[in-house]
A and B are shown apart, each in its own frame.
Chain A
């Protein structure tokens, strides 16, 4: 027996851990994005799939290369770079030349994520950071939209049939309803970025994530509800409230943003209250940008702006201390004040 004793492990409790790790969480996110990718391939052709794959591979290579260059441990196994790759491809038009997409991947992984210390340290969502960079660098390519059902070329998309998106300056940005029906918008039979068009598929993915406990419903619900309420109260162009609200909800990247971008762990608050504040903030900014901004679509910038507020939101929304009554709170406040005055003297 004494021999066996030497082999017993001793460690701090707890001695069991949940089977869910970072990698499995990221894998779940990737799985949840598959339905939207299927819709994209159906409407925009195999180029959507190729673009997504190229983006994932580029992200993984940039991550590996950067960490190798700086002699850091390799982190490709956590799949977070793959998630960034898919998401960045999803927020670009299918006609975007591959090399531009790769430049966006570089910006997302190296500049936004790794320069700040890698996973967990970046303060804005890498995919949205990459998109913002591409929007500034290649505004025309980033706003050229393929018409759904007319597949663009695999190598060069220069000959693609292009049109407007529901949220473009031609339509809702000017208060005019687009030609696409609400049903078309719901299934994704409209122009737009690769991954944002099919609300139903994104919803399926979002529900999967919530059911698996990967994300909590607070952010997406608060986000979408805020947009719904605001657009219902303030319809544009004399349109019917409900119709306008539905077009606002389904057009653009709201579902992709609410379920997959705003819920990014690293760049969202950690407490339940904070998540609701964050979701409401995203919703408010989205509507403001859509109504009053120069860009027809506001989801990505709304999330980016809220990303940089996360630290303050987390500070302001600490869960109420267990058993801390009102009297105790006042007492503690008074004591703090007294201590401050004492120190001043």
Chain B
């Protein structure tokens, strides 16, 4: 079954620098880890350790306060600070700083589980919750919330192995090296949701991963593996659903509205580790790459490792990078403080040189070429959205459905006039949300 996925672009992949490099542990563990209390969608966690406490690997250090997932220590050692520290998302965030004793003493709660087949769906969801697992593809939605919300509402489980952003190979290597864990995790997701089938979507630039997973697949597993034509942003939730099931998530809706739920391959393997070994989410694969990185590589690093330490492990910079990103070049977050840590959703640290980065040269005039309209995977008309945004005609901008924009950057990438479309739409959405809030407040005051 193959469906169309409209639009998109195909930027240079640049995956060759790391796609054949096995994931290695950090050559040298970080002396300190900084673990932010917010690495997920929702409310920040409450720290439950104090300065001076001794912690072990996997020990819970942050408790849920509202929507969220608990947070665990990724190294053993002493808590030296509980304070606001630079956060990769910008600004500062309450963080627990642990001084590494380099012993990696595991927490007592980490125990191999023998009777996994006897677990009930609710037990699996509880394990996922206690392990602090969040979506590892980027957005970081708490996985247990997604699972419990999906029970009985969805009929299709999709596993995202598209990894459509250029440069990144963390998921690719994961599928090659820990295929059993990925498939095992998918099995647990199916069990938790009471479904017999799941589909893993992998882009055609990772055929070795497709073959490998297929070779591991037992005959009656119910897991299908689909090869997708390489196209950005296929790994975006809505586009993956459209591509594999043909269903379109309605505007402002959730995948569950069309009976789908999507998990990243890395999330699946984290679920496998949590269920079989009792391991909370404390480590993850990260690709360290980009033209400015001296030794591009894939590492498995403790969450909370400062970016500067990761860069040191990759041999430092061979040239001064123009831009340092957390994530891929299309949607990644630019970093300005290298003491900020990697998080649960960090799949890549990307150091782009002047030549690689779009040095945002001056905008030229729109020539109405229509490339943005053809590239938009959400079926929008970016050129008109921009035209009305520049006139600050927010009603018109909304008529062109700017709120549907997911900021994938396809239009911006393809624009021959180098117009900063995504930036404009971010501003427009911000303005429109402000107006909506104002209108709401007015209504409330009237009532």
Interface residues of A (CB under 8 A from B): 1, 4-5, 7-18, 20-22, 24-25, 78, 80, 118-121, 216, 265-266, 268-272, 275, 314, 318-325, 328
Residue B166 CB within 8 A of the other chain: yes
Name the residue in B333, B377, B413, B422 with the highest tally of chain A Cβ atoms < 10 Å from its Cβ. Answer: B413
Whether B9 is near chain A, meaning CB under 8 Å from some CB there, is: yes
Most buried by A among B12, B308, B358, B378: B358
Q: In the complex, are the beta carbons of B166 and A270 less than 8 A apart?
A: no
Interface residue tally of chain B, by bracket? Answer: 35 or more
Q: Is B404 among interface residues, defined by CB-CB distance under 8 A? A: yes
Known: A11-B334, A321-B379. A22 touches B417 (CB 8 A): yes
Residues of B within 8 A of A18 (CB): 9, 11, 413-416
How distant is the Cα of A172 from the Cα of B225 in the complex, in angstroms? Answer: 60
| Cβ contact of A15, chosen from B329, B378, B380, cutoff 8 A | B329
Q: Is the CB of B368 within 8 A of A17?
A: no
B60 proximal to A (CB < 8 A): no
Say which residue of B331, B358, B400, B416 sits within 8 Å of A25 (CB atoms): B416
Contact between A1 and B412, CB atoms less than 8 A apart: no
User: How long is the Cα–Cα vector from A25 to B357 in the complex, in angstroms?
Assistant: 21
Which residues from A are CB-within-8-Å of B359? 9
Which residues of chain B are near A272, meaning CB under 8 Å? 373-374
- Residues of B in contact with A (beta carbons under 8 Å apart): 6, 9, 11-12, 166, 238, 248-251, 253, 258, 308, 317, 320-325, 329-338, 352, 356-360, 364-370, 372-374, 376-381, 383-384, 400-401, 404, 407, 409, 412-418, 420, 422-423, 426
Question: What's the Cα separation between A8 and B253 when bound, in Å?
Answer: 37
Closest 9 pairs between A and B when the two form their complex, measured CB to CB: A14-B409, A270-B370, A323-B248, A17-B358, A12-B423, A319-B379, A323-B250, A120-B365, A265-B369
Partner of A319, one of B166, B352, B381, B383: B381
A288 to chain B, nearest CB (A): 27
Q: How far is the CA of A268 from the CA of B356 in the complex (A)?
A: 33
11 additional A-B residue pairs with CB within 8 Å, beyond A1-B308, A328-B250: A15-B330, A16-B11, A18-B9, A21-B416, A24-B416, A120-B367, A269-B370, A270-B381, A271-B381, A319-B381, A321-B251
Nearest residue, chain B, Cβ from A17: B358
What does DSSP make chain A's interface, helix, strand, loop or mixed? loop
**B368 CB to nearest A CB, Å:** 5
| Chain B nearest Cβ from A80, distance in angstroms | 8
B366 touches which of A11, A120, A323, A324 (Cβ 8 Å): A120
User: B246 to nearest A CB, angstroms?
Assistant: 12
Cβ-neighbour of B373 out of A1, A4, A271, A324 (below 8 A): A271
Which of B356, B372, B416 sits near A20, CB closer than 8 Å? B416
B334 and A10 form a contact (CB under 8 A):
yes
Select one of A12, A16, A22 contacting B329, CB under 8 A: A16
Q: From the candidates A10, A17, A24, A265, name the one contacting B413 in the complex (CB within 8 A).
A: A17
Select the residue from A12, A16, A20, A24 with max chain B CB neighbours within 10 A.
A16
Which of B383, B416, B417, B426 makes the CB contact (< 8 A) with A12?
B426
A79 → chain B, closest Cβ, in Å? 12
Q: How far is the CB of B157 from chain A (nearest CB, A)?
A: 20
Task: Please name the residue on chain B nearest to A118 by beta carbon.
Answer: B365
CB-nearest residue of chain A to B9: A18
Q: Is A5's CB under 8 angstroms from B365's CB?
A: no
B416 contact set on A, CB distance < 8 A? 18, 20-22, 24-25
Contact yes or no, B325 A15, CB < 8 A = yes
A314 to chain B minimum Cβ distance, whole angstroms, is 8
Contact A16 B251, beta carbon cutoff 8 Å: no
**Which residue of A8, A120, A266, A271 is within 8 Å of B321 (Cβ)?**
A8
Given the known interface contacts A265-B369, A319-B381, the answer about A15 and B323 at a Cβ–Cβ threshold of 8 Å is yes
Cα separation A21 to B329 with both chains bound (whole Å): 19
A9-B334, A270-B383, A322-B251 in contact; A14/B329 too (CB < 8 A)? yes
Pick the contact of B370: A7, A13, A16, A265 (CB < 8 A): A265
Do B330 and A10 have beta carbons less than 8 Å apart?
no
23 examples of A-B residue contacts, CB within 8 angstroms: A7-B320, A8-B321, A8-B322, A12-B423, A13-B331, A13-B409, A14-B329, A15-B332, A15-B358, A16-B12, A17-B358, A17-B412, A17-B413, A20-B414, A21-B416, A21-B417, A78-B364, A118-B365, A271-B381, A314-B381, A321-B401, A322-B251, A323-B238
